[in-house]
Amino acid sequence: MSDSFTAVSGRKVVSQKSAEELGDVAHIVIDVKRRKVASLIVGKGRKALVLDWDQVSGLGPDAVMVADESALHAPRDDHENAAADGKLELIGKRALNDVGNDLGELSDVRFDPKTGIIESLVLGEREEAAASLLGAGSYAAIFQTSAQ
């Protein structure tokens, strides 16, 4: 069963220990090289916290479970700050191929909720294999030309 970024976005994050809601998933950050989910950003603005993928105890259909609130931490470097600000948000990001032609906007990313491994990226009507993703940053996501 695969899950998707648009579906996970807004899902509540709950502590298994206290049963408290710690916030909602605002953004999902990926590791492009490993083509895997790297972290979830929980909450928005100054209160945004980073939940690293290896701290997720369970990603269920209704909630993201963590052991306790210590699983979340404040952004620690430029990359995490940019992620917390939503600058690395993939959904809605411009997609370009590696020869500089526009491919439209990224509308969703499908991934395995057990492993965090990205399966495919949705560009409007088309779906591209994760392997064709070359890079992603604040400006665009870059795809291999053969993906066209």
Residue ranges in contact with other proteins by CB under 8 A: 32, 96-102, 134-142
**What is the C-alpha to C-alpha distance for residues 72 and 41, in angstroms, rounded to an integer?**
9
Shortest distance (Å) from residue 30 CB to other proteins:
11
Q: Which is nearer to other proteins, 9 or 97 (CB)?
A: 97
CA atoms within 13 A on the CB side of 89: 17
Shortest distance (Å) from residue 136 CB to other proteins:
4
In sequence order, the β-bridge partners of residue 42 are 25, 49
Gyration radius of the chain's alpha carbons: 15
Please name which of 86, 103, 100 lies closest in space to residue 29, comparing C-alpha atoms. 86
Shortest distance (Å) from residue 89 CB to other proteins:
12
3-state secondary structure of 99: coil
Q: Which is nearer to other proteins, 41 or 136 (CB)?
A: 136
**What is the C-alpha to C-alpha distance for residues 132 and 79, in angstroms, rounded to an integer?**
23
Q: Which is nearer to other proteins, 6 or 97 (CB)?
A: 97
* Other residues' Cβ atoms within 10 Å of the Cβ of residue 76: 9
Q: Which is nearer to other proteins, 66 or 118 (CB)?
A: 118
Q: Which is nearer to other proteins, 13 or 90 (CB)?
A: 90
Shortest distance (Å) from residue 77 CB to other proteins:
16
Shortest distance (Å) from residue 14 CB to other proteins:
32
